[in-house]
């Protein structure tokens, strides 16, 4: 028996008898139209992703990367990590269900940098590996974050990897997640005693940008900065390269695009997720007197090239 059409409206439910001489043909036609719409949406998303990649090739970051590392700093990292571990600091991660947040959590556990690790998210995550057994999980409702202020208390360091896309959540949903949720979380973290807040942003982020995505990213950067954390680190990677658990054909196309251009160009405008995570942690363990620092894509490459030890 052919599957019923989920898009069939109520008015057609009573039309099976009179005048419907070829119901199978009509169902096939509707299925064909549905498949055409799905294919069209996928193509549109792929084009949009490619345009974004081209735009990032054109965009320039504001100012030099603050976090580029010298050879001496790279060689000093093992000692810096050990000194950091001795401070028994607590950390929270926002967005650990996403690709970057998941990779960051894995790096944090492998390096054993913090005495307490907390994941804050809208649902409880399932971990099978033994290394995750001591990870604390705080389940919150991002629409009512004030009710979960306790989840943000007592952390020395915070990493915010929250984010979605306009294609996935719509313009309103994108702003709610990438601006409103991030800002409210930062406010609660500041009130809870967080000293060092790390924000995953985007290459080209600028509140005055004519490109909506970069405008929102730039706006939230500035508004979090107004909270005056003791240390505020902004990471502006280009296109994030990873093998997502969820299927995103558009991002597959972008990865192919960057794989076809000269390596020097690709390095300037894309970066593997694992390298971003290592840069975040390598930056966190090294002392800094700067209240605010912005690490661009090249700085992330430089700082993230050192493996954990």
- Name the residues annotated as catalytic: 213, 217
300, with CB counted inside 10 A (0-12, 13-18, 19+), is buried
What SS3 state is found at 72?
helix
Longest Cα–Cα distance of the chain, Å, equals 83
Say if strands 270-272 and 292-295 run parallel, antiparallel, or are unpaired.
unpaired
Count of CB atoms situated within 10 Å of the CB of 259: 11
Residue reference for tokens 């099978």: 128
- Per the CB < 8 A criterion, the answer to whether 272 and 70 are in contact is no
Long-range residue pairs from 257-266, CB within 8 A, at least 24 positions apart, any chain? 257/50, 257/53, 258/53, 265/57
Going by C-alpha positions, the residue among 212, 204, 230 that lies closest to residue 63 is: 204
Phi, psi torsion values for 169, nearest 5 degrees: -115, -5
Q: Find where tokens 């919150």 sit.
A: 140
Q: Which two tokens stand for residue 87?
A: 């401070």
Dihedral sign (CA 184, 186, 187, 192): positive
| Radius of gyration in angstroms for the set of CA atoms belonging to the chain, rounded to a whole number | 23
């Amino acid at each position: 028996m052919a599957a019923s059409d989920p898009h069939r409206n109520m008015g057609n439910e009573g039309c099976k008898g009179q005048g419907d001489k070829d119901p199978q043909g009509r169902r096939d036609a509707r299925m064909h139209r549905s498949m055409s719409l799905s294919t069209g949406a996928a193509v549109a998303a792929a084009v949009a992703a490619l345009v974004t990649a081209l735009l990032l090739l054109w965009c320039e970051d504001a100012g030099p990367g603050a976090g580029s590392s010298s050879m001496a700093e790279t060689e000093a990292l093992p000692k810096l990590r050990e000194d950091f571990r001795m401070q028994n600091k607590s950390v929270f991660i926002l967005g650990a269900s996403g690709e970057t947040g998941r990779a960051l959590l894995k790096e944090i556990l492998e390096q054993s940098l913090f005495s307490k690790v907390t994941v804050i998210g809208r649902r409880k995550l399932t971990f099978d590996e033994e290394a995750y057994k001591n990870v604390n999980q705080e389940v919150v409702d991002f629409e009512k974050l004030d009710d979960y202020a306790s989840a943000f208390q007592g952390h020395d360091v915070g990493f915010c990897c929250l984010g979605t896309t306009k294609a996935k959540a719509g313009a309103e949903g994108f702003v709610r997640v990438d601006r409103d949720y991030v800002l409210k979380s930062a406010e609660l973290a500041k009130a809870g005693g967080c000293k060092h807040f790390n924000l995953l942003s985007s290459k080209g982020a600028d509140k005055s940008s004519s490109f909506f995505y970069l405008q929102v990213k730039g706006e939230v950067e500035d508004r979090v900065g107004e909270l005056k954390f003791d240390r505020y680190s902004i990471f502006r990677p280009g296109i994030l390269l990873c093998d997502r658990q969820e299927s995103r054909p558009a991002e597959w196309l972008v990865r192919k695009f960057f794989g076809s251009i000269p390596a020097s160009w690709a390095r300037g405008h894309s970066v593997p997720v694992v390298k971003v995570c290592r840069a975040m942690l390598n930056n966190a363990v090294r002392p800094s007197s700067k209240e605010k620092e912005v690490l661009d894509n090249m700085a992330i490459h430089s700082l993230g090239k050192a493996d954990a030890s």
